[in-house]
Structure 1
Amino acid sequence: MSSDYTYDEQGQFFPFFILTLSGLVTLPLTYNLLRPSKELENTASRIKSDFKPEHADLVEAQKRKRLRKERRIKRIATVVVGYAVMAWMVYLILVTARTTAKLYDPYDILGVSRSADERAISRHYKRLSLVYHPDKIRPDPAKNETIEMLNERFVELTKAYKALTDEEIRNNYLQYGHPDGKQSFSIGIALPKLIVMDGNGKYVLLVYGALLGVLLPYIVGKWWYGTQRYTKERVLVASAGNIFREYKDDLSDNGIMNALSSGEEFKEILKGAKAESGLAKLEKKVLAEETSFLSAKDRETLKNLDSDTRRKALALLWAYIGRVDLGDSTLNAEKYEAAPVALSLTEAFTAISLAFGNLRPIIGAYKASQSLIQAVPANASPLLQLPNFTDAVVKSVEGEDAKNHFTVQTFMKLPESERRIRSIGAGLLSEKQYAEAISVAQQLPVLEVSKAFFKVMGEKVITPSSLVQLVVKARFIPPGCTSIPAVNELDLEDIDPDDDDLDALMGRKPAKNRTTKIVDGKTVEAKIEKVQPPLAHAPYLARDHSPRWHIFLADAKQGKMAVPPFTFTTFDKPILDEAGKPTFNVQTLKMQFQAPPQVGDYTFVMHMICDSYLGLDNKMEITLHIDDPAKAAALEEEDDISEPDEDSIAGQMQALKTGQAPKKKARKASDSSSEEESDTDGDAGDTSDTNTETEDED
C-alpha cells in the first residue's frame, strides 16, 4: 500500500488542528470574562438614594470609562475573533466531511440489504445487468452521460457483485476494504503550496524567525514586565517610589494629597497637551479665596511644583475634594477621573506609613481615603457627606460660632423639629432635599463598640510572649435609630472554638465556619454566611467602593503604631433584616498578635477607622495585663485540686448533690505504669475574659 502526501489547502486535518488551538485560547478567556466577579464592589448592595450631584453625567461617564478599561477590550476582541475562527473551522470540517470519499460498500453500490443471501444478490445483479449492461443501455444526452460513464458504472456493479460472491475478491474486500486489494491513499495536511515551493525557503525562515524570535519574546516580555510594574496594592512601582520619597513623619491632610499627586498614573491620564491645557484656569479656580480649606502653605506648595503634570494633578484633587466647579466640562471630567486614581494611590501611601509606624501619617492615610470617597476636605464637617448639604447648610445646622463640627450621629440625635428648623429654609434645604438627606443618614453603617478585651484561647491569664487576641464586640447602629435594644450580655462573651479545629486555633478562620442551633431537640450545624455592608454612598466618586474597617493599636505617648491594622469587610451576623431594618446584632471582630515579653500593664489606644465615611471612627483606651507564668501554673493546679475524685468521699457527696458522677482525674505517670490504659479526661475550662477595662476617649 503506497501513500501520497500532498500539500493542499483543502486538507482534512487542518480545520481540526486550528479548531483545537483556537478553543484552547478562546474558551478560558470566555470563562474569565463571564464568571461572576468576587470583588467586594460587585457583591454588595447599595444605599437607597435618588440623589444626583452636580455634574452627575460626568461622574457616570467616568464610571463607564473605568468599566471599559477593567473589561479589557482586547480580551473581548480576542474572544470574538476566536469564536469566528472556530465557526469557520467547523464549517470547513462539515464541507470536508461532505466531499470526502466514502468507504467502499458493495451492498450500497448494488442497492441490496446486508441481510440478503447469495441467491438474492445474484438475482438482483442479473436484473441490474439487463438494465446497465453496455450492450443494453444507451447514453442519455439530457443527463450528459457518455459511453465511458456507463461502462464505469457497470464495472463498479460487477466488482461489488464479485466482492460478495467470489471467494478471492471477497477476501480482498474483507482484508483491505476494497475488492482490488491494497489501495494507495492521499493525506492532505493543508499547508499552502507556496511554503514548499522551491525558492520560497528563505521567506518561510524569515516568517518563522519573526514569529519565534521577535513576536513571541515580545509578548512574553510585555506580560512579564506588566506583572513587575505593579506592587501588590496594584500601584505602579514607580509611583510607590515617588510616594516613598515624599513621605514625612508629620505628613497629614493636604500634605498627603500633595504626595499622592506624584503618582505616575496621572501621567497616563494627562498625556501630552492635557497637562498644560486649562492649567492656568484650574489654578485660578482652586486658589480663589472661596476655597478656604487650603492654607497659605498649601497654596505655596502648588505654585512651587515644577512639573505641569503634577501641578495639574494636585489642583484637580483639591478641586475635587473642595467640590469646586471649574466652569469647563473637560476640566470637570478630568477632576472626576483623577479622584479614583488618587484613591488607589492611598493604598501605597498606607503601606509605606505602616512600614514607618508613625501614627499621624497612618491616620492621615485613612482620612485621605475618606476625603476622596466623599469629596470632602479632611477637616471639613462630616455633614457634607449628606445629599444636598452645602457649607451654608452646615453653618446653619452647627451655628456660626461652633468650635467643633457635628457628626451625622450628632445631627440625627437632635429632635426632629430642631433638625428641620436648622436645615430647611430660604438658601437652605427644601422639604424634598431634607428628606433625601435624612434617608441617607439613616442608612449609614455606623459601627459602635460595645466591648473590647484581650484574651488567650484556653487560658485564664495572659502570660509574656503569648499569642493574644483582641476581641471587639460591636453593633451596627444607623444614625437616628430609636428603640435600640440593650446588648445581651451573653453576646459579649467570646467562647473558644472547638479544640479539634486547628484552623480556628491558629486564627486562620472562625471555628469550622459554622454555628450550631437546637432544632426539635437535635443539634444542627449551620454554615455561617458572611454579610457585607452596602457600598459606600459616594455620589461624587467615579467608581464603586465597599467600606472597610481598620482596627489597630497605638502607643499614644510615643505616637507610634503598636499593632498593625486588621481590616474587616464582612461580618458574621446579618446587619439588616428582610424588611431592610437594622438587626442590632453584636458582631465579633478579632485580631491576633504576640504579647509583650515582660510582666505588667500596657495601655494602648485602639483605633477603629472606616475608610469610607467621616465621623464614624472609634477611639478608646484599652489595657493589656500580662501576668507572671507562675500564676498561670498555680491556677491550673488549683483547678486540678478543685475537682474531687470519684472514689473519694467528696466525690460521692458531689454525686449526691448534682446527680452526676464526677469526672475521673488524670493519674500520675507512676500510677499509670501499673495499668494497661489510664482513663483520663482533660479539664476543658471555660475561657475567662482578662481583667481589662475600656473607656471612651473624648
Structure 2
Amino acid sequence: MSTDYNYDEQGQFFPYFVATMLLLALIPVTYSTFAPSKQTGLQNNPRIESSFKPADYDHIEQHKRKKRKESRRIKRMIFLATGWSLMAYMIYLIATSSALTPKIWDPYTILGISMSASERAIKSHYRRLSIKFHPDKVKLKGNETMEDANERWVEITKAYKALTDEEIRRNYQEYGHPDGKQSYSIGIALPQWTIADGSKYWVLAFYGVMFGIVLPYYVGKWWYGTKRYTKDGVLMETAGRLFKSYEEDCDEKKAVEILSAGGLEKFRKDEKSMEGKEHVIESAIKDKVPYGVMSTLEKLDGWKRKTYGLLWAYLTRTKFEDPKLDAEKLDVAQDAVLWNNSLLAINLAFAATKPILASMRINQNLVQAIPPGGSPLLQLPYFTEALCEKIEEFGAKDHWSIQRFMALPDAKRRQLCVGPDALTDAQYAEAIAIAQKIPIIRVEKTFFKVQGEKTVTPHAICQLVIKARVVPAGVTPPPVDPKDLEDEDPAEDDVDALIGRTPAKSKTQTKATADATIPANEVEKSPLVTGSEPPLPTLAHAPFFPAATLPKWHVFLAERRTGKMIIAPMTILQFPEATDNFQVQTFKLQFGAPPNAGEVHFQMHLVCDAYLGTDYKASVVLKVEEPRMFEGRPREEDEISEPDEDSLAGLMATSRGQKVKKAGAHHHHHHDDSEEEEDESDTEGEVEEGSDTDTDTDTDDE
C-alpha cells in the first residue's frame, strides 16, 4: 500500500482553508457587534415635544450625529461586510468545484442492480450487459474510444466477480475493493509553489507574522481593553483617581472639581493644542460661575484645568466662538455623566449621606446644564437667569422650584413672565406645557411592615413601603382611595410575589383568577395579565444635554444622627401605569430590622437624577417591639395523658407505681375536656385581641 501527497494546484481545497480562517475571525466579531446590549435602547422611547432650541442647537445636533456615527462602528461594519462576502464566495467555490474526494467502490451501483438481487439474477443481468458493453460487441458513441469501452467492461467484470467469485468477494468484503488493499492520497490545501525553494521563506514569514504577532495583538488588545473599563464604562485609571479624590464633606461644587479628574485620557495626548485655550475658556466663564470657582481653577493646571473649565462652561451654558471648544465642551459633559456614575458607586461604598446626595444632584445639573446653586426654573424653555431673578424676587429669598412656580395663579404667572423684556405669549404657553409634563413623584404614605406580621420584631426582614404617584406641577389630582394606601400581603400560592419577582396580588384576585377566565376584550385592561410589556418611559426633557437620557429616582434610608446611609438605594426606572392616571404605585425597600427593641429614626431620601427641585425628604420612625409570648396555662392536649387502667400500658404503669385512669371514668373525663376546651377558647381570644397592634410610622416632610 502506498501513499501519495497531492498539492492543490487547481485550487480545489484552498477554499476550505480560507473559509476556516475567516470563520475564526468573523464569528466573534459578528457576535460582539450584534449581541443584544445590556443597556436599554432609547431610540423608541417617547419624548417631551418642544420647539425650543438652545443658542448652540446646531453644535448639539452635530455632536449627536457624530456620536450616532461612532456608535455604528463603520470600520467594523466594512470588515464584516467584506469578510462575509468573501466567505460566501468560498462557499460557492466549495459547492461548485470538483474536489478530489475518494469514491466508494460499489459493485451493485456499477452493475445497476438491487442489493437484494439473487446470484441467479446477477448472472442473468451480467449476460445482458455483456451483449451491450463487451468490447467486441459495443457500439461507440460520440467521442468515446475503445480504451474507454475496455475500462468500462473491466469495471463491470470486477463487479460481477466481486459478487460471484468466492476469493474476489473475500477481498471486497475485507478491503472494500476486489483487488485488495488500495493506495490512498492526501490532498494538501495549498498550491505547491507555497513551499517551493524560492517562496517557502516568504510564506513562513507571512504565517509567522499573522499567527505570531497580528492575531495575538488584536486578541490581547480586546482582552485588556475590556479589563481597562469598569462596569460603568469608565477607565480603571479614571475610577482610581476618583476614588483618591473622595471627600466626606463633598458638595455639588466640589463634585465638579472631582469629576474633572476624568479628563486625563481625553486631553493628555493633545496637550499642545491646549496652549492658549485655558485663557479663552476662563475669560468666557469668569462672570458666570459661582464664587470660588475661579480661585479653584487657578490652582489646577494642564488637562485637569481645561476639563474643569469646560465643565463650568457647559453648566453655565457658555457658547464659544471656537467650534472645537464647543464640541469638546459637549464631549466633556456627556463623559462627566459616566464619571459621575463611577463616583456615585464609590460614595455608596463609603455610605456617607452628603457625598451620595452631592453625586446624585450633580447629575441633575449635568443633564439640565444648570450650575450648582442655580434656579430650577432654568429647566423650562426660554427661561433665563434674569427672568428667574425677577420671579424669585417676588416673595422669596431662595430659588423657586417648578412646583412653587406652578402653584401661583395663572394670571400672576403671566404677569411675572410675559412682557417686552421677557417671554411672548407663545413662549409662555410652551414653558407652562413643559412644566406640566415634568414627572414629579408625590409620596402619599410611608410605613414599615413585616410580611405576615402585625409588628416589627428584632432581626425581622422588614420592608419600607412607599405609596407614591406622579403628580405634575400645577395639576390638582383626584383624592387618593384609602384602599390604595393599604398593603395587603400576597396570597400563599402567589410564589412570584412572595419572592419579589412580581407585584403582589390580593387573595381575592388570586381566587378570581382561579375560578374565572378573563374575557378577550378585557385582556389588555386586566391587572392580572402579566405577559404584556409595560409602556416605555418618557425621556428626560434636557435640550442642552447632548444625549438622550432616562430619568431615574433613587430611594434610600439614612440615619439622622450619624448621617450615614444604612440601606442601599433602590432605583426606580419607570412607573407601571401612565402618569395621567394618578394611580398610586407601591415600592418596597427591604432590609433587616435592628437587633434591639425601641424606636429608630431614619431619614428617607427620594432623589431624581434628571430634574432639579423634585427631591423628597422625610423623617420616618421605625418601632421595633419584642415578640409577644403566649400567656396562659398549657392546654391539656399538649400534656402527656395517663394510660387506661385496663390497657396493657396501664398494667405496665401500675407495675412501675405510676398513675393510671380508672376504667369507669371515661364519660366524666370527656365532660371535663369539653369544659376545659371552652375555657381555653375564651383565653386565646382575649390574648389575640389584645395583641392586635400595628407598626406606627411618623412621616414628616422636611
TM-score, normalising length: structure 1: 0.79
Counterpart pick for 1:153 among 133, 148, 157 = 148
Residue number among 517, 526, 530 corresponding to 2:529 in the alignment: 526
| Aligned twin of 2:422 | 428
After TM superposition, the structure 1 = structure 2 runs for residues 26-41 of structure 1, keeping only pairs within 5 Å, are: 26-27=26-27, 29-41=29-41
Aligned counterpart, 1:488: 481
Separation in structure 2 between the aligned mates of residue 466 and residue 379 of structure 1, nearest angstrom:
42
For structure 2, which runs of at least 5 residues remain unmatched after alignment?
118-123, 519-527, 636-672
Q: Is the aligned partner of 1:193 residue 2:192?
A: yes
CA distance in 1, matches of 2:598, 2:112: 103
Distance between the aligned counterparts of 1:320 and 1:282, measured in 2?
Answer: 11
Deviation at 1:618, TM superposition (A): 0.7
Letter in 1 for 2:315: I
Distance 1:29-1:513 versus aligned 2 partners, 3 A rule: farther
Classify the secondary structure of the residue corresponding to 2:605: strand
Task: Flag the 1:517–1:384 CA change in 2: closer, same or farther, 3 A.
Answer: farther
Partner of 1:605: 603
CA-to-partner distance for each residue in 1:533-567, whole Å, 9 max, x for gaps? 31212222122222111112223444333433222
8 Å CA contact 1:249, 1:361 repeated in 2: yes
Aligned partner of 1:327 among 321, 330, 340: 321
**Equivalent residue for 1:574?**
577
After superposition, residues 335-414 of structure 1 pair within 5 angstroms as: 335-399=329-393, 402-414=396-408
Instruction: Give per-residue Cα distances to partners, 1:169-220, cap 9 Å, x unaligned.
Output: 9968976787877654433221343554468777676666655654455445
Larger CA deviation: 551-560 vs 519-528: 519-528
1:356-384 CA-partner distances (Å, limit 9, x unpaired): 33332221111110000111112212121
- 3-state SS of 1:481 partner: coil
SS in structure 2 opposite 1:271? helix
Per-residue deviation, 1:396: 4.3
For residue 22 of structure 1, what is the aligned residue in structure 2?
22
Q: Partner residue of 1:79? A: 80
Q: Which residue of 2 aligns with 1:535?
A: 539
Number of residue equivalences: 635
Identify unmatched segments of 5+ residues in structure 1.
577-581, 642-646, 654-661, 666-682
For 1:526, give the aligned amino acid: V
1:623 aligned partner: 621
Equivalent in the alignment of 2:238? 239
Question: What CA distance in whole angstroms lies between the structure 2 residues aligned with 1:553 and 1:511?
Answer: 23
C-alpha separation in 2, matches of 1:583 and 1:533: 15
1:250 positional shift: 2.3
Q: Which amino acid aligns with 1:545?
A: T
Answer yes or no: is the 8 Å Cα contact 1:110–1:125 preserved in 2: no
- Please state how far the C-alpha of 1:92 moved relative to its aligned partner: 2.3
Cα 1:319/1:689, change in 2 over 3 Å? farther
CA deviation profile, 1:97-118 (whole Å, cap 9, x unmatched) = 4786877799999999999944
Q: CA deviation at 1:530?
A: 5.3
Q: What's 1:474 paired with?
A: 468
Greater Rg over alpha carbons, structure: 2
1:659 aligned residue? none
Q: Which moved more, 1:325-334 or 1:610-619?
A: 325-334
CA contact (8 A) 1:397 1:423 kept: yes
Q: Secondary structure at the match of 1:362?
A: helix
Q: Measured at CA, do residues 299 and 585 of structure 1 come closer, stay the same or move farther in structure 2, by a change above 3 Å?
A: same
Q: Distance in 1 between matches of 2:676 and 2:529?
A: 41
Quote the residue 1:591 is aligned against: 589
What is the match of residue 299 of structure 1? 294
Q: Which residue does the alignment assign to 1:249?
A: 248
Find the residue that maps to 2:221 and give its secondary structure: helix
Structure 2 Cα separation of the partners of residues 619 and 510 of structure 1: 25
Distance 1:503 1:102 in 2: 61
Within 5 Å, which residues of 2 pair with 1:684-695? 689-695=694-700
CA distance, structure 2, for counterparts of residue 275 and residue 389 of structure 1: 33
CA distance in 2, matches of 1:107, 1:520: 67
SS, match of residue 563 in structure 1: strand
Contact 1:607 1:617 in 2 (8 A): yes
Match of 2:438 among 424, 444, 448: 444
Q: Shift of residue 475 of structure 1?
A: 0.3
Pairwise CA distance, 1:496: 2.6
Deviation at 1:353, TM superposition (A): 2.3
The verdict on how the C-alpha distance between 1:101 and 1:233 changes in structure 2, with shifts beyond 3 A counting, is: closer
Q: 1:418 aligns with which of 403, 406, 412?
A: 412
- Describe the superposition over 1:433-462 as per-residue Cα deviations: whole angstroms up to 9, x where unpaired: 333323322221211101111112222222
TM score, norm. by length of structure 2: 0.78
Identity over aligned residues, as a percent? 41
Task: Please name the residue that 1:4 is paired with.
Answer: 4
Cα deviation, residue 157, structure 1: 4.1
Q: What CA deviation, in whole Å up to 9, does each residue of 1:253-297 have, x standing for no partner? A: 22211111011455359734343363321211011x2x1x421x1
Question: What pairs with 1:549-560 in structure 2 (closer than 5 Å)?
Answer: 549-560=553-564
Contact map agreement 2:17 2:189 (CA 8 A) in 1: no
SS across alignment from 2:237: helix
User: 2:249 is aligned with what amino acid?
Assistant: D
